Amino acid sequence: MNKIILGILGLLLIVLYVTSTIGSDPVTHQSTLDPKGPIAQMQLDLFMVTVWLTLGLFIAVGGALLYAVFKFREKPGDEDKPLPEQGHGNPLTEIGLIGGSVFLLVFIAVPTVKGIWLTHELPVDQPYYEPSKLGTWFKGDISEGEEDKVLEVNVYGWQWWFSFEYPQLGITTGNELVIPKGKVVKLNLRSVDVIHSFWLPKIAGKVDLMPGRTNWMWILADEPGHYYGQCAEYCGEAHAYMLFRSDVMETEDFEAWVSKTLKGSAAPNGFTAPSTEGTPTLKDNWAAWSKASRENPESVINNSVARGAQLFMGSAQCIVCHAVDNSPAAGNRGPNLTQVAFRKSLAAGILDNQGDVPGEVDDPKQLDNLYNWVSKSQLYKPGNLMYFTDAGLINQKMAGITYGELTALSISDDLLLDVGFTPEQLTAMKAETDGDISQYADTTFVMKRLIAQIGRKSTVTYSDLASVGIEDRSILAKGFSAEDLQDMKSNAQDSLKGYGTSRQYKQLKALYQDEVLAGISNWPSDKDFWDIAHYLQTLN
Ligand code: CUA
């Protein structure tokens, strides 16, 4: 009995210790115990009311139990005595307990209802908050008739990322919600596919993003800073990786952000359209650049950034899903990338862009992360749709492979039969060895099984990587140190398995396999991905 009591006391101490440390730890980016706005504050207050109340209940009920256990326990010599008098059915006790429970429920209901009231009414013209009408504080251009309205952001949930659209300002951004400090912002919450949930723990949440229905909430942040958010409703394979960030800025900084974002992006390397009349706009420059890159590539495709832009707008097909304002890229299936290099995270908040100063972009880290993300996104965010929708890059992996090239890589006829080609299809491929073999595949599944076999090795070495042209910078970008790299080079024939984590080794294997595939299909080469990363880094 004593052990049980000691155990309960120990557990209570652990719970108290853990709860007392959570709010004070600066590394818990998603702590609801560290509120930075009235909604989060109200939610914390409500939470604490129930915590103290239930703690009181716990002590009262637990104390009564302990008292009864000790007072009425069987003592030596009690064996033959009858049961003590039983006290149930006492009307005073029972009515007292019912009355007490009702009182406690009412006690919790009062702040709960007040909280619902607070979240449910947009606080315009209330003295507690600064006037939040757009026209009273925003100095930039706003559309007609919007002056009297509160700043609105349309939040869309996608599998598995967030888009933020500012209809009054004409801005669309991805995965980073930028808002001014101390101003009421109205969020219209929608989903493009399944149910998601918007949750920014230190500021407000959670409200579901539902298909076919618009929910709304208002938020207000008291302190400038970089905040961490999360989808809080299970929404499929990459749900755990559906994060977002929020930048809360001083009013002037917010206005600067708006005008910077509205400017859009310039053509690569500052290319300017030959002016016919007046100053060409950024759109004109882009149009002229696109024309020149088609008609006279040597004149503009002269460095890594320009090559990356050409790949992005062309053969790598990024523009099927992504938009870059002013440029020919106008896809809307993936995040708008206009300011991607100005954002403090990549890949829906998974990869940091931060350096020593929290919230500041770290350029070398960003370049590595951009390269890692675009070239091997499945290894960072399993299940993401970048390569797997019909428009996605999976088609690039499957297109352009010929029977002749497979033979050169020692892919046998048996293996082709094994992945699902029929003997007749095999005969047809052999009759035309330089034809695209995907035309013979009955389903894309057959092609996917085939490409999973290309370049597959049980173990990879440094010389394998070098033999397909993988550069050292690609190895370093995976997080290996310069010493590791030196060691890999001096033992070039040895398996790379001993270096780094198993996850890092997996990345090196994928690097080799993808490069072999890039040699025979339309999949971009490792160098192409570096170029794309260089181009993306100019979007700031
Ligand atoms: Cu979106 Cu979970």
The residue whose C-alpha atom lies closest to atom 1 belonging to ligand 1 is 196
| C-beta 397 within 6 A of ligand 1 | no
Distance from C-alpha of 356 to C-alpha of 529, rounded to nearest angstrom: 27
* Alpha helices (H) in 264-388, listed in sequence order: 282-295, 297-300, 304-313, 363-375, 377-380
Confidence bin at 41 (pLDDT 50/70/90): very high
Q: How far is the CA of 236 from the centre of ligand 1 (A)?
A: 7
The amino acid at 367: L
The per-residue pLDDT for range 145-156, each reduced to its tens digit, is 888 899 999 999
- Local confidence band at 354 (pLDDT 50, 70, 90 cut-offs): confident
According to the per-residue pLDDT averaged within each range, which of 98-102, 122-126, 287-291 is highest?
Answer: 98-102
Atom of ligand 1 nearest to the CA of 240: 2
The minimum-distance atom of ligand 1 relative to the CA of 194 is 1
Separation of 159 CA from ligand 1 center, angstroms?
Answer: 7
Q: Is the pLDDT of residue 124 over 90?
A: no
Tell me the pLDDT of the chain averaged across its residues.
Answer: 88
Q: What is the pLDDT of residue 107?
A: 92
pLDDT digits (tens, 9 = 90+) for 486-499: 999 999 999 999 89
- What is the whole-number distance in angstroms between the Cα of residue 233 and the centre of ligand 1? 5
Q: Where are the alpha helices (DSSP H) in 296-438?
A: 297-300, 304-313, 363-375, 377-380, 394-398, 403-408, 413-419, 423-431
pLDDT at 504 over 70: yes
Q: Is there a contact between 391 and 384 (Cβ–Cβ < 8 Å)? A: no
Q: Which of 313, 325, 326 is nearest to 285 (CA)?
A: 326
pLDDT in tens, 283-307: 888 988 988 988 988 888 989 999 9
Q: 190: Cβ below 6 Å to ligand 1?
A: no
pLDDT of residue 388: 63
Does residue 231's CB lie within 6 angstroms of at least one atom of ligand 1?
A: yes
For residue 22, pLDDT beyond 60: no
- For β-strands 204-209 and 151-158, DSSP reports them as unpaired
pLDDT at 237 over 80: yes
Higher pLDDT, 76 or 249: 249
Rounded CA separation 495/36 (Å): 50
What's the pLDDT band for 244 if we cut at 50, 70, 90? Answer: very high
For residue 241, what pLDDT is reported? 93
Q: What is the pLDDT of residue 27?
A: 52
| For the chain, percent of residues with pLDDT exceeding 90 | 48
- Output the CA 196–ligand 1 centroid distance in Å: 4
List pLDDT tens digits, range 134-179: 888 888 888 888 888 999 999 999 999 999 999 999 999 999 999 9
> Quick one: which of 182, 219, 235, 226 has its CA closest to 343?
226
pLDDT, tens digit, 9 for 90 and up, residues 179-197 = 999 999 999 999 999 999 9
Pairing of strands 171-174, 196-200: unpaired
Q: Does ligand 1 lie within 6 Å of residue 235's CB atom?
A: yes
Indicate whether residue 162 lines ligand 1 (CB < 6 A).
Answer: no
